[in-house]
Amino acid sequence: MRTDVAAEASAAARLAVEVAGGRTVYGTAVVSNGTTVSIPAVLVAPAVVTKATAHEAPAPGSARGQGARPH
């Protein structure tokens, strides 16, 4: 399974702006780290990639499916 890279990037950017602005960040879910503290999290639904749909999935390391580009 792969996740929607654009959705992950959007969620990460939104959270970064909140933290940079000194605001409390709230997630859409909470996860446990083995302590009594619940950690806020934003979970993005994974997309199932099958042989039939593999051509539609972004390449690893790419937000646009173009593959990683050298710097």
Tens-binned pLDDT, residue by residue, of the chain (71 aa): 555 778 888 888 988 998 899 998 888 888 888 887 888 888 877 777 788 877 776 666 655 444 444 43
In sequence order, what are the residues at sequence separation of 6 or more whose Cβ sits closer than 8 angstroms to the Cβ of residue 3?
A: 44, 45, 46, 47
> Rounded to two decimals, what is the model's pTM?
0.50
Does residue 50 come out as left (phi exceeding 0), alpha (psi in the -120 to 50 range) or beta? Answer: beta
Residue 31: the pLDDT is: 87
Domain extent listing, the chain: 2-56
